[in-house]
Structure 1
Amino acid sequence: GGGAAPAAWGLEGEAEKVVYSRSQVSFSGTKALGDALKIFMPKSTEFMSSDSELWNFLCSLKHEFSPIILRSKDVYG
């Protein structure tokens, strides 16, 4: 990975930084993840030529599909 790249990725807040620092360790195993994406989402691998692009893709999925937590007052008024 690149040294200064994370700042350009728009990571906001401490939680994002923690996620990033932990995931750096697992980037050595991205081939298996890439293979899985090729099987389940063939179009997704067309633009992923590097680990940083794969990371950006995964972050976009996290934000796109993040659950909305409803409290009882949201449901019952």
Structure 2
Amino acid sequence: MSLIITDECINCDVCEPECPNGAISQGDEIYQIDPNKCTECVGHFDEPQCQQVCPVDCIPHDPDHQETKDQLMQKFLKLSAAAKA
């Protein structure tokens, strides 16, 4: 499943540059994660980097976008191919 940023976000700006897929961007009030780009860092790292650097632990799994590790890997492969094209 992809990740989501909750209302506890303090806009500290540390998560956005850590995302290897460019899935994190500034929203109207807090940062947001594009579930179409979030692979939980599968294909890049062993752990989601945004969760690792978040000082307030406001990046849980998004229950509305449940995906298996295999589905996340397929998304990673598709995103990687699109980036090379």
TM score, norm. by length of structure 2: 0.28
**Relative contact order, higher structure (CA 8 A, sep 6+):** 2
Greater helix share, structure number: 1
User: Which structure is higher in strand share?
Assistant: 2
Q: TM-score, normalised by structure 1?
A: 0.31
Q: Which has the larger radius of gyration?
A: 1
